[in-house]
Amino acid sequence: MWWKILTGVLIGAVVIAVFLMPPPQKELGDISRIFFFHVPVAWVTVLAFLVAMVNSILYLSRKNPVYDLQAAISSQLGFLFAILATVSGAIFAKNAWGSFWNWDPRETSVFILLLIYGAYLALRSAIEAEDRRANLSAVYSILAFITVPFLVFVVPRVFQSLHPTDTIVNSQIKFQMPPLLLFIFLGSLLGFSLLFFWIYNLEVKLNILYKKAKEVNPAR
Amino acid sequence: MGIKSSTWTSRVLALFLKDFKSELRTRYSLNALVMFAVITLTVISFSIGMFSLSSKVKSSLFWIVIFFSAMSGLAQVFIKEEEAKTSSLLKLVASPESIFAGKLLYNLVLLLFLELIIVPLFIIMLGFSILNFWLFLCVLVLGSLGLVCATTIIAAIVAKASVKGALFAVLSFPILLPLLVTVISGTNLAAEGASFSQGLRDLQILFSYAVVMFVASFLLFDFVWEE
Instruction: Tally C-beta pairs within 8 A across A and B.
Output: 85
Rounded to whole angstroms, the Cα distance separating B76 from B69 reads 12
Q: Is A23 domain-assigned?
A: no
Q: Say what percent of chain A tops pLDDT 70.
A: 86
Q: Is A146 domain-assigned?
A: yes
Q: Which sign, positive or negative, has the C-alpha torsion B176, B177, B182, B186?
A: positive
Q: Is A9 domain-assigned?
A: no
Rounded to whole angstroms, the Cα distance separating A173 from A152 reads 21
Q: Which residues contact B28 (CB under 8 A, 6 or more apart)?
A: B76, B80
CA distance A103 to chain B (A): 13
pLDDT at A174 over 60: no
Please spell the DSSP secondary structure of chain B, one letter per residue: -HHHHHHHHHHHHHHHHHHHHHHHHH-HHHHHHHHHHHHHHHHHHHHHTT----HHHHHHHHHHHHHHHHHHHTTHHHHHHHHTT-HHHHHHHS-HHHHHHHHHHHHHHHHHHHHHHHHHHHHHHH----SSHHHHHHHHHHHHHHHHHHHHHHHHHHHHSS--TTHHHHHHHHHHHHHHHHHHHHHHHHHTT--HHHHHHHHHHHHHHHHHHHHHHHHHHHHHH--
Domain that holds residue A44: 32-216
Q: What is the pLDDT of residues B103-120, one digit of tens each?
A: 999 999 999 999 999 999
Query: In this structure, which amino acid lies at residue B164?
Result: K
Domain count, chain A: 1
Q: Is A10 domain-assigned?
A: no
Residues of chain B in contact with residue A142, where contact means CB-CB under 8 angstroms, are 216, 220
Confidence grade of residue A25 (pLDDT, cut at 50, 70, 90):
low
pLDDT at A167 over 50: no
Q: How far is the first Cα of chain B from the last one, in angstroms, to the nearest whole number? A: 29
**pLDDT at position A176, please?**
56
CA distance A147 to chain B (A): 6
**More confident call, B164 vs A39:** A39
Task: For chain A, list residues whose CB is within 8 angstroms of any CB belonging to chain B.
Answer: 60, 112, 115-116, 118-119, 122-123, 126-128, 131-132, 135-136, 138-140, 142-144, 146-147, 150-151, 153-155, 157-158
Confidence grade of residue A157 (pLDDT, cut at 50, 70, 90):
low
Q: What is residue A177's DSSP assignment? A: -
Put simply, whether B211 touches A (Cβ < 8 Å) is no
User: Own/partner pairs for A95-102, CB < 8 Å, 24+ apart?
Assistant: A95/A28, A95/A31, A96/A28, A96/A31, A96/A169, A97/A163, A97/A165, A97/A166, A97/A169, A102/A162, A102/A163, A102/A166
Rounded to whole angstroms, the Cα distance separating A43 from A39 reads 6
- Comparing CA positions, the residue from A207, A206, A192, A1 lying closest to residue A78 is A192
Which of B167, B177, B227 has the CB atom closest to A122's CB atom? B167
Please give the mean pLDDT across all residues of chain B: 87
Confidence grade of residue A106 (pLDDT, cut at 50, 70, 90):
confident
Q: What is the pLDDT of residues B61-105, one digit of tens each?
A: 999 999 988 888 888 888 888 888 888 888 888 888 889 999 999
**pLDDT at position B156, please?**
92
Q: Is A94 domain-assigned?
A: yes
Residues of chain A in contact with residue B223, where contact means CB-CB under 8 angstroms, are 60, 135, 138-139
CA distance A56 to chain B (A): 11
pLDDT at B148 over 90: yes
Q: Which residues contact A141 (CB under 8 A, 6 or more apart)?
A: A52, A53, A56, A71, A75, A120
Q: Is A1 domain-assigned?
A: no
Put simply, whether B140 touches A (Cβ < 8 Å) is no
Q: Is A18 domain-assigned?
A: no
Rounded to whole angstroms, the Cα distance separating B67 from B69 reads 6
Burial of A117 (0-12, 13-18, 19+ CB in 10 A): buried
CA distance B182 to chain A (A): 7
pLDDT at A179 over 70: yes
Q: Which residues contact B222 (CB under 8 A, 6 or more apart)?
A: B96, B97
Which of B173, B178, B223 has the CB atom closest to A139's CB atom? B223
